[in-house]
């Protein structure tokens, strides 16, 4: 399929790029996106076909991370989707922040679309392609999954809390000190003070 696309002049390879990126990073990538791409007039031009799950299927599972990366796709552009830092209480729901450990933040990433259909898994072989139950089993093998209280299958994205390296903190402080030591300029108001000094 990939070779076929590469031989087509003007064929879009964005799905292939995401698939390759999943293999470079050795992590699943989940893309959430619009269903149709439209002209500047709002006319539907076709399906985007980017939304779905990209698994690093060419690697052994033991060499890969189970915590996925999330991307958003709209208007011909991809954007990284990152969880907000939340120091508040345990807020459950979409993108819930589970305080399982002080150093680890867990974010829920839905594996279903707005119609509760399982997201498409891209680049599956004929053997791996199957019914929805087989695809859900495949997702559970490659991702840390759970089901929310509302019955939504989600992948758990685990990330460590950001801590700056001491040298980075020191460098930023040194840089800020340079600005803190700058003396403020005397402000002039319409040149009045300047004229008074000249008269003396």
Task: Please check whether residue 189 lies inside any domain of the structure.
Answer: no
- Whole-angstrom Cα distance, residue 182 to residue 146? 54
Residue 58: per-residue pLDDT = 94
Task: Please check whether residue 97 lies inside any domain of the structure.
Answer: yes
Average pLDDT over residues 32-48: 84
Residue 116: per-residue pLDDT = 92
Residue 89: per-residue pLDDT = 46
CB 104 within 8 A of CB 162: no
Handedness of CA 74, 80, 85, 86 (dihedral sign): positive
| Higher pLDDT pick, 130 / 109 | 109
Residue 19: per-residue pLDDT = 94
Task: Please check whether residue 167 lies inside any domain of the structure.
Answer: no
Residue 3: per-residue pLDDT = 66
Residue 36: per-residue pLDDT = 82
Going by pLDDT thresholds of 50, 70 and 90, the confidence category of residue 21 is: very high
- Whole-angstrom Cα distance, residue 196 to residue 191? 9
State how many domains the chain has: 1
Residue 27 in tokens: 């992590």
Residue 46: per-residue pLDDT = 80
Task: Please check whether residue 142 lies inside any domain of the structure.
Answer: yes
Q: Which tens digits make up the pLDDT trace of 132-179?
A: 899 999 999 999 999 999 999 999 998 876 676 788 888 888 888 877
Average pLDDT over residues 59-72: 96
Going by pLDDT thresholds of 50, 70 and 90, the confidence category of residue 187 is: low
Task: Please check whether residue 114 lies inside any domain of the structure.
Answer: yes
Task: Please check whether residue 192 lies inside any domain of the structure.
Answer: no
Residue 174: per-residue pLDDT = 84
Task: Please check whether residue 64 lies inside any domain of the structure.
Answer: yes
Q: Which tens digits make up the pLDDT trace of 71-129?
A: 999 877 889 998 876 655 454 445 555 555 567 789 999 999 989 999 999 999 888 88
Average pLDDT over residues 23-32: 97
Structural domain containing residue 129: 2-160
Pairing between β-strand 145-147 and β-strand 52-54 as defined by DSSP bridges:
unpaired
* Residue whose C-alpha is closest to residue 68's, from 108, 104, 119, 103: 108
Task: Please check whether residue 54 lies inside any domain of the structure.
Answer: yes
Residue 54: per-residue pLDDT = 97
In the beta sheet, which residues pair with residue 146? Answer: 154
pTM: 0.70
Residue 190: per-residue pLDDT = 55
Phi, psi of 37 (to 5 degrees): -100, 145
Residue 184 in tokens: 């403020």
């Amino acid at each position: 399929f990939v070779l076929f696309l590469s031989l087509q002049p003007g064929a879009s390879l964005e799905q292939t790029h995401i698939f390759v990126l999943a293999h470079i990073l050795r992590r699943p990538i989940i893309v959430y996106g619009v269903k149709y791409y439209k002209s500047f007039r709002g006319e539907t031009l076709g399906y985007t076909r980017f939304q779905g799950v990209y698994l690093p299927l060419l690697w052994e599972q033991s060499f890969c991370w189970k915590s996925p990366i999330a991307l958003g796709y709209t208007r011909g552009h991809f954007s990284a989707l990152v969880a907000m830092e939340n120091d508040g209480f345990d807020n459950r729901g979409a993108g819930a922040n589970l305080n399982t450990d002080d150093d680890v933040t867990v974010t829920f990433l839905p594996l279903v679309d707005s119609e509760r259909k399982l997201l498409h898994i891209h680049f599956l072989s004929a053997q791996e392609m199957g019914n929805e139950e087989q695809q859900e089993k495949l997702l559970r093998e490659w991702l840390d999954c759970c089901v929310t209280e509302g019955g939504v299958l989600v992948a758990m994205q685990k990330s460590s809390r950001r801590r700056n390296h001491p040298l980075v903190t020191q460098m930023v402080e040194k840089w800020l000190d340079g600005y803190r030591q700058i003396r403020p300029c005397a402000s002039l108001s319409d040149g009045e003070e300047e004229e008074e000094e000249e008269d003396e």
